[in-house]
Amino acid sequence: MKKLLVILGVICLSLSSAGFADESVSGEHWVCLECGSEADGDFCGVCGKPAGTWNCSACGTENLTGRCRSCGMSREASLDAQAASGDLLTAWPAVCYLAGQGRPDALVSLAHYYELGFFMPKNTAMALSCLQLAANMDYAPAWVKLGRVYDQGELVTRDYYKSMECYQKAADLGSVEALWYLGTFYEDGSTVRRNYEKALEYYRQAAEKGDADSLMSIAYCYAEGRGVERNPDLAMEYYEKAAEAGSSLACDYLGYLYLSGEGPSKDVEKGLSWYRKAAGLGNSRSMAALGYMYQYGIDVDPDPAEAARWYEQAALAGRADALETFTSLDAGKAE
Ligand SMILES: [Zn+2]
Ligand SMILES: [Zn+2]
């Protein structure tokens, strides 16, 4: 029954070089799959469930054996789904369990909890150690994440060269995201000597594998004549490819182009449809732009309710200016 993981044990063993060995726990410890607490008896001291209890992520049934007695899902499949749920609260016990088993994807997730200080005290050293551990298992997303960590300089001192090294490792392991990041270094030219041709090479490699950001970057290169001869038609073609590949930025930009008539001739229907598509992909700028159009009746009939609806969405997606407008619109309505 207690062949559950010993999360801190495994992680601390692996991280002993980082000075966490003293915290490691005996084999009696286990992680409660119900609440994510560490426990050491037959029952979890926090939620009271017996060791090995797990909640089926498909149907919600509580189980004690390896397979859900209601729907037949295996515990492993359930834990995978739970860890990948994207919800920090829901995923926590599964992430703990899988990280304790040394799963690199779970270690990257665990790093995120340490980074945020969610469920435990913020610990940037542990966050980094988890990422490094996963990276050492040749897990490309961990190298990408490390690249961003060094690029942003929030967990560590900013180090662009180290960041590039991490992206290169990820790219060698097949990450298309990393190829795009490498391209941006050569396009930007503040860390390495600017080289638009080389940037385009990286973008094209990633674009061949369907990377939407890279398609967007190639479009921009054609629009601006970076590393290639300026070609507005090809630029449009690539913006559309990027939009079709799911880039909300590309959809938003196409919406802007068709509504402003810069580039292609003005086409309100097309512009609105690209803005709506971008909004559907979570682009808050498009949401706010739609709000503005309906508020002031630009290219559409004014519609205060529709305007408020878009501003509200944009605010919920994190746009401060949209929140301000939404609040004032709503206040105006109440008066
Ligand atoms: Zn518990
Ligand atoms: Zn089930």
pLDDT tens digits, one per residue of 282-307: 999 999 999 999 999 999 999 999 99
Q: Which residues contact 247 (CB under 8 A, 6 or more apart)?
A: 212, 213, 215, 216, 281
204, 207, 194, 265: which is closest to 236 by C-alpha? 265
Please identify every residue whose CB atom is under 5 Å from ligand 2, which is an ion. 56, 58-59, 61, 68, 70-71, 73
Q: In percent, how much of the chain has pLDDT > 70? A: 90
Distance CA 49, CA 38 (A): 12
Give residue 34's pLDDT.
87
Eight-class DSSP state of 163: H
Distance CA 101, CA 27 (A): 13
Query: Which ligand is in closest contact with the Cα of 62?
Result: 2
Query: Which ligand is in closest contact with the Cα of 72?
Result: 2
Q: How far is the CA of 83 from the centre of ligand 2 (A)?
A: 16
Q: Measure Cα distances from 189 to 148, 170, 178, 224 in Å.
A: 17, 21, 17, 16
How many domains does the chain divide into? 2
Is residue 125 one of the residues assigned to a domain? Answer: no
Is residue 85 one of the residues assigned to a domain? Answer: yes
Does position 23 have pLDDT exceeding 90, yes or no?
no
Confidence (pTM): 0.81
pLDDT (average), residues 11-22 = 40
Is residue 29 one of the residues assigned to a domain? Answer: yes
Q: How far is the CA of 111 from the centre of ligand 2 (A)?
A: 29
Output the domain CATH number for residue 291: 1.25.40.10
CB atoms within 10 A of CB 107: 27
Is residue 270 one of the residues assigned to a domain? Answer: yes
Does position 148 have pLDDT exceeding 50, yes or no?
yes
Q: How far is the CA of 82 from the centre of ligand 2 (A)?
A: 12
Q: How far is the CA of 33 from the centre of ligand 2 (A)?
A: 15
72, 102, 132 - which closes a domain: 102
102, 123, 140 - which closes a domain: 102
Q: How far is the CA of 81 from the centre of ligand 2 (A)?
A: 12
Is residue 137 one of the residues assigned to a domain? Answer: no
Pairing, β 62-63 against β 38-39? unpaired
Is residue 2 one of the residues assigned to a domain? Answer: yes
Q: How far is the CA of 31 from the centre of ligand 1 (A)?
A: 8
Show the domain range for 55: 1-102
Is residue 173 one of the residues assigned to a domain? Answer: no
102, 124, 155 - which closes a domain: 102
Distance CA 239, CA 224 (A): 13
Amino acid at 111: A
Residue 74 DSSP SS3: strand
Contact 170, 178 (CB under 8 A): yes
Q: How far is the CA of 38 from the centre of ligand 1 (A)?
A: 8
Query: Which ligand is in closest contact with the Cα of 47?
Result: 1
- Residue pLDDT, tens place only, 87-97: 999 999 999 99
Q: How far is the CA of 93 from the centre of ligand 1 (A)?
A: 9
What's the mean per-residue pLDDT of the chain? 90
Residues pairing with 30 in the sheet: 39
Q: How far is the CA of 53 from the centre of ligand 2 (A)?
A: 13
Please identify every residue whose CB atom is under 5 Å from ligand 1, which is an ion. 32, 34-35, 37, 44, 46-47
Query: Which ligand is in closest contact with the Cα of 31?
Result: 1
Give residue 2's pLDDT.
30
Kindly indicate the confidence band of residue 20, based on its pLDDT and cuts at 50, 70 and 90: very low
Is residue 86 one of the residues assigned to a domain? Answer: yes
Kindly indicate the confidence band of residue 332, based on its pLDDT and cuts at 50, 70 and 90: low
**How far does CA 322 lie from the centroid of its chain?**
23
Give residue 31's pLDDT.
86
Q: How far is the CA of 32 from the centre of ligand 2 (A)?
A: 18
Positive/negative CA dihedral, 183, 186, 187, 188: positive
Query: Which ligand is in closest contact with the Cα of 82?
Result: 2
Eight-class DSSP state of 331: H
Residue with the bigger pLDDT between 269 and 6: it is 269
Distance CA 22, CA 13 (A): 9
